[in-house]
Structure 1
Amino acid sequence: MTLNVALFGAGRIGKVHAASIKSDPRAQLVAVTDVMEQAAAELASEHGIAVRSADEILNDRSIDVILIASSTNTHADLIERGIAAGKAVFCEKPIDLDLERARKVVASVSAAGKPVMMGFNRRFDPNFSTLKAAYDAGDIGKGELLAVTSYDPAPPPVGYIKVSGGLFRDMMIHDFDICCWLFGMPETLSATGSCLVDPAIGEAGDIDTAVVVLTYADGRIATIRNSRRAVYGYDQRLELLGADGLLSVENQLETTVRKATTSGVTSAKPQLFFLERYMRAYEIEWGAFLDALIADAPMPATVQDGVNALALAEAANISLREGRPVTITAELTGVAK
């Protein structure tokens, strides 16, 4: 069984997903669409596929799957149009920048009964997934303290910042998802943040440095640290302390060579950016989507997961703005606790 796949978006992430689709023999990339005609033409030429309009793709019954890697403001509409056209859907995070709109998408997906998966690629990183498997197996007992570190090597252009939805929705949303994946939804959230890296980011109404603390009803605590600047590379670490031990994920380095002399011990820097760090995760993620789709099994990252992470981002914005902890309620997530 080979599934025909059409790609929405021929930008940086679209190119990553195109490579993942081509790497799995169970799927065949057949078409791409993008508002940037040149980008679509270049990707189509690279992969030997057609450039088609969104309407042509959605109306083509031979296309089984659409993969949405276009701009965030298109995600919600394309998910709904895709399921209405009978397609299975894979969509990059986030569902939308507006939480209410995202909750409506959950309702649409539930009513349609079509398979939809959200692209939270870090769940599929071999290091993080190995940690979760060990934790779920009880290797360190009950989890007590979770610490997630995510620092970018440099901030994106201010033009991107202005349309990104802000650090919590754009950058930390991955870390919110990791906390939910490991610990579930918290009871309260407290956020603090500032602009230390680039004054222009502050002038655009955003922050570039933040810490969030999530507290759980049973006393567990999770902390997230984000910065838009780590001059030494892409810093991605996780530490989970349990009653019977510790699980941790360290950075992936440019090389594994370490030099030890009388002057000291040195090693390589972390890999430079997310495309290097998580390329394998994108491939595994796509394979997991196909596994679930072919087996008619639950998707490993759902639209509700997307809403949950976005709800925590919304709570973080409220906490930062009002200087107080925020209780995570059903009004935020759309799901009663």
Structure 2
Amino acid sequence: MTLRVGLMGLGYFAGFHREAWGRIAGAELVATCDSDPARSADFTTLEEMLVAAAPDILDIATPSPSHAQAIRTALPHRPRAIICQKPFCTSPEEALAVTAEAEAAGVPLIVHENFRFQPWFRTMKAALDDGMLGRPLTLSFRLRPGDGRGPDAYLARQPYFRDMPRFLIHETGVHYIDVFRFLLGTPDGVYADLRRLNPAIRGEDAGYLILDYGAGARAMLDGNRLSDFDTDDPRRTFGEALLEGDAGALHLTGDGAVTFRATGTRERHVLLAARNWPGFAGDCVHALQSHAVAALEGRGGFENTARDYLTVIALVELAYASAGCGARLPFQGI
């Protein structure tokens, strides 16, 4: 049975959703909707699309202010699953409310948090699970997309970035909070030092975020959207990563390669070779959407359920609280 997909939103990033659905066996994009007539969607309202197309999967690829209403509009139509882009909803309270409503309706609600599906992070996770690194010690990611310089920063691709009161962590760093949880688990505490470097935007665009773990490991995001790094395509990996354990270390470079070096040696082993990936950032949109289709077909469970993602949202809030008070804050769960 082919799953019918309805896509809400035809903006910049929705193009990656649309293209990826066209390459996924077992799913077919049957309808689109967008309130902007210039985008030539099949429908201008979500309700019209839900009634006429009856999608099995609703894929919401619009900004946060539209999320709660879109989910609430869809739930009476009982799609088999809803996938919703991040940042998820406009507040922790709103996210919690729609999560509970989806659960009550029996409709799986998945957050489109795709960075954990990038092939280099999946490779790192497999190496950790295989014990290659021994005890994890440190994980660091240097975010250097180089797209935030000058008075016209972000205008060409995602101009709404400029007006976000919270930017680096809320919009971008949230990806790495989820990745760090995927690799090392839920942290015990958070410290953040955030700042704005480009006066043309409203929110912060640089800073440090440190997650600490009771077993002694640390994960750090070193983010700076003005600086770039050594790569032919900064939007492939967005930066470089180093994951170290007491038995070895993994290194992610800007070409998407992951290498392993055992402690006490200089020899590097390629775990993931560089290649030209289709789609966005290692084809992670395709990977996430394929994962959702597989789960609906009974091949494994869902990652990034809205319920689980509430922890990520709580960690984002804690990061801003830490930056506000200039101190490490404990994470006590949700």
TM-score range, shorter chain: 0.7 to 0.9
Q: How much has 1:240 moved relative to structure 2? A: 1.2
Gaps of 5+ in 2: 149-153, 257-273
Amino acid at match of 1:241: E
CA RMSD of aligned residues (A): 2.3
Partner of 1:284: 287
SS at match of 1:324: coil
Partner of 1:121: 114
Partner of 2:328: 325
What CA distance in whole angstroms lies between the structure 2 residues aligned with 1:183 and 1:237?
A: 17
Amino acid at match of 2:320: N
Checking the alignment, whether the CA contact within 8 Å between 1:34 and 1:70 is kept in structure 2 is no
Deviations 1:168-196 (A, max 9, x none): 11110001110111111111101102222
Question: Sequence identity, in percent?
Answer: 26
TM score, norm. by length of structure 2: 0.83
Partner of 1:71: 63
What CA distance in whole angstroms lies between the structure 1 residues aligned with 2:312 and 2:165?
A: 15
Q: How much has 1:144 moved relative to structure 2? A: 1.6
TM score, norm. by length of structure 1: 0.82
What CA distance in whole angstroms lies between the structure 2 residues aligned with 1:308 and 1:151?
A: 26
What CA distance in whole angstroms lies between the structure 2 residues aligned with 1:279 and 1:296?
A: 22
SS at match of 1:308: helix
What CA distance in whole angstroms lies between the structure 2 residues aligned with 1:25 and 1:183?
A: 32
Checking the alignment, whether the CA contact within 8 Å between 1:8 and 1:34 is kept in structure 2 is yes
Partner of 1:167: 168
Q: How much has 1:300 moved relative to structure 2? A: 1.8
Farther-moved stretch of structure 1 (240-249 vs 72-81): 72-81
Amino acid at match of 1:79: I
Q: How does 1:146-225 map to 2 (within 5 A)?
A: 146-155=139-148, 156-157=154-155, 159-163=160-164, 165-196=166-197, 198-201=198-201, 204=202, 206-225=203-222
Deviations 1:13-34 (A, max 9, x none): 1111011111113111111111
What CA distance in whole angstroms lies between the structure 2 residues aligned with 1:170 and 1:123?
A: 15
What CA distance in whole angstroms lies between the structure 2 residues aligned with 1:191 and 1:129?
A: 26
What CA distance in whole angstroms lies between the structure 2 residues aligned with 1:159 and 1:137?
A: 42
Q: How many residues align?
A: 300
SS at match of 1:278: coil
Q: Does the C-alpha gap of structure 1 residues 59 and 165 become closer, same or farther in structure 2, counting only changes over 3 Å?
A: farther
SS at match of 1:51: coil
Partner of 2:247: 244
What CA distance in whole angstroms lies between the structure 1 residues aligned with 2:98 and 2:43?
A: 27
Checking the alignment, whether the CA contact within 8 Å between 1:86 and 1:114 is kept in structure 2 is yes
Deviations 1:213-263 (A, max 9, x none): 11112221111111111245624222211121112221127xxxxxxxxxx
Partner of 2:304: 301
Partner of 1:36: 36
Checking the alignment, whether the CA contact within 8 Å between 1:177 and 1:305 is kept in structure 2 is no
Partner of 1:56: 48
1:144 is aligned to 2:137: yes
Q: Does the C-alpha gap of structure 1 residues 58 and 227 become closer, same or farther in structure 2, counting only changes over 3 Å?
A: same
Q: How much has 1:127 moved relative to structure 2? A: 1.5
Bigger proportion of residues as helix: 1
SS at match of 1:10: coil
Checking the alignment, whether the CA contact within 8 Å between 2:31 and 2:53 is kept in structure 1 is no
1:8 is aligned to 2:1: no
Q: How does 1:93-112 map to 2 (within 5 A)?
A: 93-112=86-105
Partner of 1:89: 82
Gaps of 5+ in 1: 45-49, 254-270
Q: Does the C-alpha gap of structure 1 residues 75 and 275 become closer, same or farther in structure 2, counting only changes over 3 Å?
A: farther
What CA distance in whole angstroms lies between the structure 2 residues aligned with 1:96 and 1:58?
A: 21
Deviations 1:89-126 (A, max 9, x none): 11111211311211222222332222222112111111
Partner of 1:227: 224
Q: How much has 1:67 moved relative to structure 2? A: 0.3
What CA distance in whole angstroms lies between the structure 2 residues aligned with 1:288 and 1:113?
A: 19
Q: How much has 1:75 moved relative to structure 2? A: 1.6
Partner of 2:271: none
